[in-house]
Structure 1
């Protein structure tokens, strides 16, 4: 599969004073994958940055898949019919890329499966029915919580009664709060863009989930026992773990010195720039990049396509992300660098291999490249994977277990 960085962004004029962008950061086999973001403040810089994050996410998982992101800025409220028209025209404008499968869209902040259906309809394509069967927010939250558990273990912290604050009560934030409650963590603060609720004794997680499901960002005004404060205060609250789950770069140069958490485990993409990550590390705050923590959202589709069902995708993700995150902390300790830099070392090693293999003249050269970049493990498992991959969807239980073990090795141990 040919893999390469291309870093291309295009702008599209849309109805109702809206503008759209598609940023393709890299391609694998000629295509790139990434969600479509919709909101009043979406910008081309944000879309470009998020497409880069998608490349990092796939590379971290040892998947030579291209990273992309689309975004639509709609500055004023629109009716459901007007929103449909915007997505329809966006799909029409991207029709050549969509019809050739050069860009594969998915849901993101502000979009639902039916919005993606409208984009595909605009391009003259059939809806992607699988999007309606998978709660990607749930699987994203599983990977975030798995990374949290690994970070807590590396930091010597117990999960029981650990204080957690969650910024963003969307699809990921809600599921993360539910997982935290099930595992005995204490939710002491939660915020939407409208405000922040804080109670050092702990918020009622189930009540907050119900309110967020019913009222969205306005949920903070319906939790009657507590008066909300400004949304930005979520970042300054003393807590064990802060989980930003909304927006792009909620932590930046202007507020990084106000962060009052022992760990920052993002559920959103691009939660901080590399410079801000460095400052968090200097302050002794454990930070993991979003491409590590929230990779479950993209990986769940792959697992479903391989026949994983029921609790299997969640269990596989939980075990795998915990294992790979633990490797990050081991590498960081061994090389005396930050966990964020250690994660990027893993990414760049994989990207080097992807790029070199794309230019290799034959299988022998590919094997030498794999050995140089990833060691003997990749040499052993790559040919085995090619043989056992079809068994993932087969009925032979023994062969399927072997295939899943090899898949685990390739995604999480490399």
Structure 2
């Protein structure tokens, strides 16, 4: 079978391998080859200095075959339509493999969120929601946080949605503050879910977590939380970075101390750590470690970087951190990939819980939400590993097979 170039670009080697095994009907492949809708709009913002700037925003819906779509809104200078198309497609796969009743969407604004004041950010957030009009809502397309957006930004969007509708509709926006209908435990959900998946894979491979060395590229909400979780469970962090720089110490870095420094407003370029040497964010990926965790942006592991890796596993916390043209090189070197569609699904799963809680009027405690998340993540990891054993494929390909099975059932009707 000749692979549609669209799929090669969006999902890489693992998706191609799964397609070859899945035997999907041509009509299903045809329906998957293009997003359902793409919207581009201009967003004027009155800056604090008095001038006007117009930013470009997008919202892309790939498919709503499973239910109302769900996807993040990022405020990031590298945002573009190609990037969002890939994100929305991967999110569709993520919903499929994790049996979530949502389609895949993605959106954002091309802007450096760090350059905006709170007032300017609020204007942009409310303007973005207004631009979506009737195409946002709990039964249509649900917005969630992503790069450059957080609970406060989602709170502004939720308030704007309520204002324009003249009603309180908490399920339209996820990732809100708890006081506005958010769910306890959302900030650390990706990390909690990733740990459950990693633990299942380590057990499958007969490996003990205690003492394993790991490196994290991207010490933000997901990567920083995960580093602390792994350290608490006996793993040793040997390198970490944010966008400004990285630190490396073979004897170990204190994940909690670095998190506290981050929370205090320091960047890695400003941080100090005992025995640590400085390196670039890219170099963090190439340190000697049992586990490398790309948790920054997509495409950080290039073909050149694939040749430099010194790890036995990659835990994908960023979406699509391995470029499609580099994935085969990673696989051929015997490095196991724990795929993003499962590894980082804790965030979207908790986001789904928030939506379900809002729709049903329930109020879950942090303990209830965490227990439900653990159950879902362990079940998904177990299914992935079972398919991997039965079909004699890698977990990364197995996850794609699970997703394609669900998509075929939904799209072949």
Shorter-normalised TM range: 0.7 to 0.9
Match of 1:281 in 2: 331
Given candidates 369, 382, 393, the residue that maps to 1:313 is 369
Give the secondary structure class of the aligned counterpart of 1:41.
Answer: coil
Q: Which stretches in structure 1 are left out of the alignment for 5+ residues? A: 360-414
Q: TM-score, normalised by structure 2?
A: 0.79
Given candidates 209, 212, 218, the residue that maps to 1:159 is 209
Give the secondary structure class of the aligned counterpart of 1:14.
Answer: strand
Which structure has more helix as a fraction of its residues? 1
Equivalent residues in 2 for 1:59-70, closer than 5 Å: 59-70=96-107
Report the CA distance shift for 1:101/1:331 in structure 2 as closer, same or farther (over 3 A): closer
> What's the CA shift for 1:122?
4.6
In structure 2, how many angstroms separate the alpha carbons of the residues matched to 1:60 and 1:66?
12
Match of 2:24 in 1: none
Q: TM-score, normalised by structure 1?
A: 0.79
Alignment of 1:352 with 2:404, yes or no, is no
Q: CA RMSD in A?
A: 2.5
> What's the CA shift for 1:345?
0.5
1:157-191 superposed Cα distances (whole Å, 9 cap, x missing partner): 21001111111111111211121121111111111
Alignment of 1:44 with 2:94, yes or no, is no
Give the secondary structure class of the aligned counterpart of 1:189.
Answer: strand
Is the 2:68–2:101 Cα contact (8 Å) retained in structure 1? no
In structure 2, how many angstroms separate the alpha carbons of the residues matched to 1:302 and 1:69?
15
Alignment of 1:117 with 2:155, yes or no, is yes
1:128-175 superposed Cα distances (whole Å, 9 cap, x missing partner): 487212342311111111111122222332100111111111111121
Alignment of 1:271 with 2:321, yes or no, is yes
Alignment of 1:144 with 2:194, yes or no, is yes
> What's the CA shift for 1:100?
8.0
Give the secondary structure class of the aligned counterpart of 2:301.
Answer: coil
> What's the CA shift for 1:355?
2.0
Equivalent residues in 2 for 1:169-184, closer than 5 Å: 169-184=219-234
Alignment of 1:341 with 2:391, yes or no, is no
Aligned length: 354
> What's the CA shift for 1:27?
0.7
Equivalent residues in 2 for 1:4-403, closer than 5 Å: 7=35, 8-15=37-44, 16-28=53-65, 31-75=68-112, 77-98=115-136, 101-123=139-161, 124-125=164-165, 126=168, 128=170, 131-133=176-178, 134=183, 135-215=185-265, 218-225=267-274, 226-303=276-353, 305=356, 308-356=364-412, 359=413
Is the 1:53–1:67 Cα contact (8 Å) retained in structure 2? yes
Report the CA distance shift for 1:92/1:338 in structure 2 as closer, same or farther (over 3 A): same
Give the secondary structure class of the aligned counterpart of 2:326.
Answer: helix
> What's the CA shift for 1:272?
2.2
> What's the CA shift for 1:205?
1.9
In structure 2, how many angstroms separate the alpha carbons of the residues matched to 1:271 and 1:136?
22
Report the CA distance shift for 1:291/1:231 in structure 2 as closer, same or farther (over 3 A): same
Is the 1:236–1:258 Cα contact (8 Å) retained in structure 2? yes
Is the 2:65–2:411 Cα contact (8 Å) retained in structure 1? no
Is the 2:144–2:351 Cα contact (8 Å) retained in structure 1? no
Select between 235-244 and 72-81 the one with higher mean Cα deviation.
Answer: 72-81
Match of 1:393 in 2: none
In structure 1, how many angstroms separate the alpha carbons of the residues matched to 2:169 and 2:101?
25
